[in-house]
Amino acid sequence: MTRSAAVPYTVPFAAFLAFLTLHAVHPLPDFADQAVGLAAMTLVLWLVARPALDFRVRRWVPTLLVGAGIFVIWIGPDLLFPDYRHSILFENGVLGTARGSLSEGARRDPVVLAMRVIRSVVIVPIVEELFWRGWVMRWLIDADFRRVPLGAYTATSFWTVALLFAAEHGPYWDVGLAAGVIFNLWMVRTKSLGDLILAHAVTNACLGAYVIAAGKWEYWL
């Protein structure tokens, strides 16, 4: 029963990783790649994740500010130190390189860009928050995570999730760690999946706008 209860939290994340792997191994044409991925993940969320979804937001203004603040943290080091991201600490055989995944043609296609933004702003926040702070952060406290309320704190669960969240972001692990700590703190404070999804969506929306406006495609790995 515990395993089946985890399905709405874990399967969407696993499906998302599977699509990223497929893209790396056998990329589709730009439009098909974005359209298939978006449609498939929407279907997975609708069919699998619905029992776990809760979009109620308890603290609108602070949550919006948290999301915007993490965006500033994310781009800050690269603005202050232009060559910062290209050191061996961030670009190496393990972490990869800070290089955008969209082709030159996709960067000029408004439909492809729109789908990429939707994926970033809608799909990714739901998938990641369900997994990291909806499930992992609780499962590390008790294998029967249903007995653990959202936002429950132990040092082990808090820092393990923060570190794994950082590792997930490859060459952006440093700002990923900062974001993971802040998102974790906000979950502990609000105990609300809806607030975390909104904060994450705001961060990604700001980042998406910045990527397109400034041509900083390397942020879209």
Q: Structural domain of residue 119, as residue ranges?
A: 2-219
Number of folded domains in the chain?
Answer: 1
The pLDDT tens digits along the chain (221 residues) read 566 899 999 999 999 999 988 877 888 898 999 999 999 999 999 999 999 999 999 999 999 999 999 999 999 999 999 888 989 999 999 999 998 889 999 999 999 999 999 999 999 999 999 999 999 999 999 999 999 999 999 999 999 999 999 999 999 999 999 999 999 999 999 999 999 999 999 999 999 999 999 999 999 98
Separation between Cα atoms, residue 95 and residue 110, nearest integer Å: 30
pTM of the model: 0.95
